[in-house]
Amino acid sequence: MIEKSAWDRFAPYLRPYRLRFAQAGVAMVIVAASNGAVAWILKPVIDGLFLQKDILTSKGVLTPYLRPLTEAFELGAMSNLVLITAAVPALMLVKSVAAYAQNYLMSWIGQRVTQELREDLFRHLHRLSLDYYTANRSAEILARVTNDLAMVQSTLQFLPLYLIRDLLTVVSLMFVLFYRHWRFASMAIAVLPIAAVVLFVLGRKMRDASRSSQEIMGTLYHRFQESLQGMMLIKAFNYEEGAIARFREENASFFVEMMRYLRATALSGPLMEFFGSIVIAGLLYIGGREILLGRMTPGDFSVFLAAFFMAYAPTKNLGRLNSELQRGLASGERIFQILDERPRVVDKPGAVRFDSLKASVGLENVTFRYPSREVPALDDVTLEVRRGQTVAVVGPSGSGKSTLAQLLLRLYDPAAGRVAVDGLALADLDIRSFRDRVGIVTQETVLFNDTVAANIIIGRPGVSPDDVRRAAVIADAARFIDALPQGFDTPLGDRGLRLSGGQRQRLAIARAVLKNPDLLILDEATSNLDSTSEAEIQGAMERVMTGRTVLVIAHRLSTVQHADRIFALESGRVVEAGTHRELLIAGGLYRRLWEMQQGAEKEAKA
């Protein structure tokens, strides 16, 4: 039933737990054997007790000499009856203990394998390059690591349990059937090839439908995420009905695909029952005929019917398990698609460890285009930041400023040209050691649902509380942190929304300070703040910038007029470079942006 490729992918996760699986298998054998033993007991009960008792009683009425024989039989039969009735609960006790063992062991295996898969997914997602997240929606990824992983867990936990247990039960009962009457047994399994073909065809339909429904579920996750994050905008623009209409359309598509799956699932059960009813009808007719002709005892027939009916439910379960198997395989394929992704930004063999910035860092004739765009974000860009300098990059929105910062961190590799560090290509350096010497503060401060201290310490395990406080003091964050209920141990909640924008930005600055970086990148660090908060933050940033190599990416030109050198970007190209004064005299893009911002500030003050 399970494709070899699926076994190949799951085998490394299952292999370490072969002993527990073998133990569970032994328990399943005991459960199956117990079911067969229960059916086996019926023959001595019916033939050895009730049927012979009726014969002797009838003869005893006609022949008084047989009465002592009847009494002797009754005494022996009573002893056998006691043994048989005692055997039934004993068998059930053994079966119950084995059933508990098999359930616990398979649940343990399913949970442990899922735990390892979840950790592998989380680890692998953190190793993938940023371009993977540019090309794939976060909600789609989330759907795979939640819904699909839960489906795989259910498959790993319950499918082997029910598959092996029910299959062994059917085998044990079939042994009883063939032993008692091989012709009946042959007739009973005559429909199995037909049922197998039906299950195979339905299984393909179920897997295709399940795969499609899981993909649509990823889209639904995305819609939920969009609406939850953008609820203020939706309400401000009266877009509620439009968002609901889009979700309704995609939700209807999910319904259609799920109904394809459920139709195939619902059809498999009735078809199995129909084939089973044909067999039962044939067995009743032939069995009754054999008893009437004296070629079969009622005990044999009773054992056969009991074994057949006991095998019917497990056989039906095997058919139903096919639907769960197909869903599990479809989900497994989607999970392994993520695990098969390979990061594009990786260290080269023999990568050089980076210790400190000695001369300069910059871009040399760099061209870069995002996979989803046709126009390059950067086109033949060359710029240099010398050690100890403060260099600014300015330009209108979409000019490629933030892309430049991402290339300097080697979050992407350029399509042409190179990022150079002290004369070496950044691609030839050990990337972790380089990033360890780079600090960055962005316009969107990312805070995790953890304490204040934990958010400052990110990437710097083992630092002392004194170092954390010192970084907070330099970032002008210590005062508001001390005012929090638990100080540095205060939980920030989801995305740190309990803090103001200025407070969040101070924590980001403290995080950068704690790294003591050789290169500090400020990527529009104050663009989301009002003028008052910006002025407060500016003082903290100036303290951080002192004595460091700094690249400032700015929208507000007033924050970079004292930079050693300014590069102006437009449409991904460097159109001019110089000091603040030189660029104003040149009268190009920089001057136009400066005059526009100065005019806007005068209007705001008026």
Residue 285 CA to residue 302 CA, distance in Å, equals: 14
Task: Kindly list the distances between the CA atom of residue 422 and the CA atoms of 76, 352, 359, in Å, as whole numbers in the listed order.
Answer: 101, 12, 5
Q: Which residues on adjacent β-strands are paired with residue 355?
A: none
Q: Is the pLDDT of residue 593 over 80?
A: yes
Is pTM, for the whole model, over 0.85?
Answer: no
Residue 541 clears pLDDT 80, i.e. is over it: no
Q: Can you name the residues that pair with 570 across neighbouring β-strands?
A: 573
Would residue 67 count as lying in a domain? yes
34 in any annotated domain: yes
- Counts for the chain of helices (H) and strands (E), in that order: 21, 10
Q: Which of 566, 523, 517, 565 is nearest to 357 (CA)?
A: 517
Count of domains forming the chain? 1
Domain assignment present for 387: no
Q: Is residue 55 part of a domain?
A: yes
pLDDT the model gives residue 299: 63
Most confident of 2-16, 50-64, 327-341, 374-388: 374-388
In a domain, 389, yes or no: no
3-state secondary structure of 510: helix
Which pLDDT score is estimated for 273?
A: 62
Note whether 424 and 410 are within 8 A (CB).
no
DSSP string, 297-351: -HHHHHHHHHHHHHHHHHHHHHHHHHHHHHHHHHHHHHHHHHHH---SS-PPTTP
Q: How far is CA 387 from the centre of its chain?
A: 44
Whether pLDDT at 75 is above 50? no
Contacts of residue 83, Cβ cutoff 8 Å, sequence gap at least 6: none
Name 366's Cβ contacts closer than 8 Å, sequence gap at least 6.
378, 380, 381, 382, 407, 414, 416, 417, 418, 419
Candidates 176, 210, 195; CA nearest to 318 is 195
Which of 581, 532, 529 minimizes the C-alpha distance to 554? 529
Task: Residue 206: give the domain boundaries.
Answer: 4-340
H-assigned helices in 128-148: 130-135, 138-143
Q: Which residue type, as a one-letter code, is found at position 35?
A: N
- Mean pLDDT in residue range 145-149: 78
Q: Which pLDDT score is estimated for 304?
A: 66
pLDDT in tens, 15-39: 888 898 888 888 888 877 776 666 6
Question: Which of 222 and 249 is assigned the larger pLDDT?
Answer: 249
> Which three-class secondary structure state does DSSP give residue 524?
coil
pLDDT at 230: 62
Least confident of 177-181, 411-415, 441-445, 541-545: 177-181
Is 16 a domain residue?
Answer: yes
Structural domain includes residue 399: no
Task: With a cut of 60, say whether residue 80 has pLDDT above it.
Answer: no
Coil, strand, or helix at residue 497? coil
507-539 pLDDT, tens digit each? 888 888 888 889 999 887 766 555 666 666 676
Whether residue 246 is contained in a domain is answered as: yes
**Per-residue model confidence (pLDDT) at position 268:** 63
Q: What is the DSSP string of 377-428?
A: SEEEEEEEEETT-EEEEE-STTSSHHHHHHHHTTSS--SEEEEEETTEEGGG
The mean per-residue pLDDT over the stretch 166-194 comes to 67
**Nearest Cα to Cα of residue 140 among 217, 250, 211, 253:** 217
How does pLDDT run across 581-591, given as a tens digit for each residue? 999 999 999 99
Which domain CATH number covers 131? 1.20.1560.10
What end-to-end distance do the CA atoms of the chain give, in Å? 77
User: What is the largest distance, in Å, between two alpha-carbon atoms of the chain?
Assistant: 137
Q: Is the pLDDT of residue 65 over 80?
A: no
Cα 215 to chain centroid distance, Å, stands at 13
With a CB cutoff of 8 Å and minimum separation 6, the contacts of 123 are none
The mean pLDDT of the chain is: 76
Give Cβ neighbours of residue 476 (< 8 Å, ≥ 6 apart). Answer: 506, 509, 536, 537, 539, 540
Judge whether residue 602 has pLDDT over 70.
no
User: What is the predicted pLDDT for the residue at 204?
Assistant: 62
pLDDT at 427: 93
